[in-house]
Amino acid sequence: MVLLLRKYPNENDCCYSILNRFGFEYKTLVIGNQVYVNVIQGKITVGDRCAFEEALLKDTNVKRILWDEKTPVLLTDEQREKTVTVGRAVFGEGFHFIAGPCAVESYDALDEIAYQLREMGVGILRGGAYKPSTSPYSFHGLKEKGLDILRRVADKYSMSVVTEVMDTRDVTMVASYADVLQIGSRSMQNYPLLSEVGKCVKPVILKRGLWANYNEWLLAAEYIAVHGNEKIILCERGIRTYEQETRNTLDLQAIPVIKEKSNVPIIIDPSHAAGDSRYILPMCRAAKAAGADGLMVEVHIKPEESWKDSKQALSLSEMREILKACSDIRSVKEHTCHVS
Ligand code: PEP
Ligand code: MN
């Protein structure tokens, strides 16, 4: 059990005397701005449980009692800000596109992509400078040189930058170039990394681990929030299933489920889900219809020459088609449901 407190308790605090009265052992801890008491469960009868809860709730310093610590709380709080602003885009309102290459390759190639995306009205540029790779022999990104290219190109076209950070030691440096920090699928349960981006002021896109269920994903987001950063956007990018035809399986049910369970904006990355540019357009349309707050897709000037993920890279004309195909899709968010 966990007690979330409003402020650090003094040693005579009411909650301590209640815990002592019921024979509990406990530890008071602080993460970011949040003070909490981790109660090491003692034995409590069902009858006592009610009296215990009642007594605690009378203590004005106790904000919340969590009987089960595996429940995300900050992200479900009705009081919290439900939108995340990135440049001119407000995630949580409307529908927004993030696009760019899998990896930053060169200034000129990125400049051409960004120029065309801007022309299409896309204001957020993605690109990896630190690339997680299954094989140690693959390309791992241009590192800080790639970040510098991203920033210069984005500034030239007044775009915002989304880029991945993989290592706790790089968070401050990557945040100095990026507008949004991306936590990749493979890092979703890297708790030191989540804690570190939680101390940043920049918004974070938290991709779903390819093996993570919704609660694990929301608890990973809670790690970021508890350290002080509530500017979180979740990104569904496909999960592992037995299907071999596509790279992963896009779980669009994540959209209504996450919206039901939390107040966090959610975007869809159909590129890493499908792993094949032929299947991306219908998934983009479906994601918008299902109520997603936006999309993140991989685009390249010459997809077949892309250094990474070439099979799933969209050409700029395919990107244009997707924007057009999504423009006439009405999101479930716009429907008002009348149940009689
Ligand atoms: C990416 O978006 O560049 C990426 C590596 O995606 P994921 O972490 O979802 O595999
Ligand atoms: Mn990729």
Residue of minimum CA distance from atom 10 in ligand 1: 185
| Amino acid 42: pLDDT | 73
Give the pTM. 0.93
Q: Does residue 238 line the site of ligand 1, with CB under 6 A?
A: no
- Measured from the CA of 185, which atom of ligand 1 is nearest? 8
**What are the structural domains, with CATH classification, of the chain?**
2-66 (3.30.70), 84-337 (3.20.20.70)
| Amino acid 336: pLDDT | 59
Report pLDDT digits (tens) over 231-242: 999 999 999 999
**Ligand that comes closest to the CA of residue 162:** 1
Report pLDDT digits (tens) over 108-130: 999 999 999 999 999 999 999 99
Distance CA 299, CA 98 (A): 10
Please say if the pLDDT value at position 337 is more than 70: no
Ligand 1 centroid from CA 308, angstroms: 11
Residue of minimum CA distance from atom 6 in ligand 1: 184
